[in-house]
Amino acid sequence: MSGGAAKRGRDDDDDEELDKLRPVPEPAAKWYWKEEPHRIGQHDKSRTLKPNWVEYDTGKTVEIEKAFRAFKEQGGAATLSMTIAGKAITVQFAKMEQVNDATGWKRKMHRVQADVIVIEDDSGGDGGCASKKQKGDANSARPPAKLVRRNSSGSMGAPNTAVAAAGGKDKVQDKTIEKMIALAKNWEPDNKKHDPTGMIMSEKLDGVRCFWNGKGLYTRTGHLIPAPANFVQGFPSDMFLDGELFIDRGKFNEVSGLARTLQSEPRAWKPVTYVVFDAPQVKGGLMTRLAAAKAKLDGVCKFARILEQVVCKGHDHVIQELARIEALVPPGEGLMLRHPTAEHKGGRSADLLKVKTQHDAEAVVTGHEQVCLHTHTHVRARAHTHTHTHTHTHVCVCVCVCV
């Protein structure tokens, strides 16, 4: 029997995903695909060109532009394989068309030079834009783009970013944030110290961990998230907030892509909400801190809200609520348990516990005279040891090796 690792979902320790990935730069051009004339009216007019061109989303545009420039300037590959709307697509730069790998259906592509191209400047200054000329593109419908200098800090001083909203202060990293972030331990059902009774319980969101320091939104290790100014409008300048950028269950990739995109357009952030689950600097227990945050946000912040919380009644309540969350379509990630009266403190502690169910398609249970192949569900506890009901009539503690 062959062995293999079980496929697992995203964990909250994977919040480092954003910190390991540098922001996606804005492309030097916009890319469009050719729609059927009778369908062009179904698309957002702001993302179309006459007669019937439809703009790719920012993430795909960055990917296409990078490969295109490598092809044109460095003799790179003439094709690019990618997935669009769940379909395998091959982009052919020489023919300027995309081909559906399954059906062979072809669509013409169109490249339009962007209005502004950012060039890097390590001098640290913000004046004296480079004087070199930008050549027009053979596929461009526009004149050569305007060059704008960006200094080594990454700032372009654009009016639609949170940097501008914070009074123009270009602080791309705040190293003090990491020490303030509270991190969760795994909930261990058999650990008496992890008795959930009376703890504050909430859904574990499938989003991007995000800290508001009164001036801007940052990742948990303190890197600036360039949200549009209208998104953070009304956020309190005198209160720190801890929360998550969230679109919906199963939409992690979409929200993380936005959080990593420099100069993303405000309309792209419309489905995003900043869901707040703590106000670290406020004195008192969790509900006191959240009440203070709610008083600051209600009626003022269009894109922020407080995460719903309930008081946990005990072990069975956790299991029931976890089952409810996982039965949603798409399913939720799990639950978080927070100490009701403890003051906020940074670092990992039992004041914050995460509860997730891990599903293994198949597993071999070792440590018995017979080896049993079965499907099981267990509450994630320690690194490798799990408590679950065996297919036999008794309850056992065993080590599971996924295959």
pLDDT in tens, 281-337: 999 999 999 999 999 999 899 999 999 999 999 999 999 999 999 999 999 999 999
Would you place residue 61 in the very low, low, confident or very high pLDDT band (cuts 50, 70, 90)?
Answer: confident
Q: E strand or H helix at 72, and its extent?
A: helix 58-74
Give the integer Cα–Cα distance in Å for 321 and 337: 12
Q: Is 131 exposed, middle or buried (0-12, 13-18, 19+ CB in 10 A)?
A: exposed
Specify the range with the lowest mean pLDDT, choosing from 63-77, 93-107, 127-141, 239-253: 127-141
Give me the chain's average pLDDT, please: 75
What pLDDT is recorded for position 265? 77
Close Cβ partners of 345 (under 8 Å, ≥ 6 residues apart): 182, 351
What pLDDT is recorded for position 248? 94
Within 82-201, residue ranges assigned H as helices are: 162-165, 177-180
Q: Within 13 Å of residue 72, how many CA atoms lie on the same side as its CB?
A: 12
Q: What is the mean pLDDT of residues 128-149?
A: 38
C-alpha dihedral (313, 315, 320, 323), degrees to nearest 10: 140
Give the integer Cα–Cα distance in Å for 44 and 36: 15
Sheet hosting strand 273-278, strand order edge to edge: 224-225, 217-218, 208-212, 241-246, 273-278, 304-306
% of residues, the chain, pLDDT over 70: 67
Q: Residue 154: pLDDT above 50?
A: no
Report the DSSP beta bridge partners of residue 118.
148
Give the integer Cα–Cα distance in Å for 203 and 221: 23
Q: Residue 223: pLDDT above 50?
A: yes
Residue 129 corresponds to which tokens in the numbers above? Answer: 């834009």
User: Would you say 202 and 338 are in contact if contact means Cβ atoms under 8 Å apart?
Assistant: yes
Give the integer Cα–Cα distance in Å for 227 and 216: 8
Within 200-333, residue ranges assigned H as helices are: 252-259, 286-297, 315-326
Residue (of 58, 61, 354) closest to 189 by Cα position: 354
Question: Is 45 part of the annotated catalytic residue set?
Answer: no
The length of the chain in residues reads 403
Q: Residue 45: pLDDT above 90?
A: no
Residue (of 195, 143, 185) closest to 314 by Cα position: 195
What pLDDT is recorded for position 131? 34
% of residues, the chain, pLDDT over 90: 43
User: Would you say 33 and 53 are in contact if contact means Cβ atoms under 8 Å apart?
Assistant: yes
Helix then strand count (H, E) for the chain reads 7, 24
Going from the N-terminus, what domains does the chain have, and what CATH number goes with each?
Answer: 24-161 (3.30.720.50), 177-355 (3.30.470.30), 356-402 (no CATH)
Residue the block writes with tokens 């480092």: 16
pLDDT in tens, 72-131: 888 888 999 998 888 899 999 999 999 999 999 999 999 987 543 333 333 333 333 333
What pLDDT is recorded for position 70? 87
Q: Which residue has the higher pLDDT, 261 or 179?
A: 179
What pLDDT is recorded for position 166? 42
Q: Is the dihedral of CA 247, 253, 256, 260 positive or negative?
A: negative
Q: Which residue has the higher pLDDT, 191 or 361?
A: 191
Spot the catalytic one: 60, 204, 296, 354.
204
Give the integer Cα–Cα distance in Å for 95 and 91: 9
Residue 218 corresponds to which tokens in the numbers above? Answer: 């940052």
Q: Which residue has the higher pLDDT, 320 or 14?
A: 320
Q: E strand or H helix at 357, and its extent?
A: strand 357-366
Distance of CA 358 to the CA centre of its chain: 21
Give the integer Cα–Cα distance in Å for 293 and 286: 11
Backbone angles phi, psi at 266, to 5 degrees: -50, -35
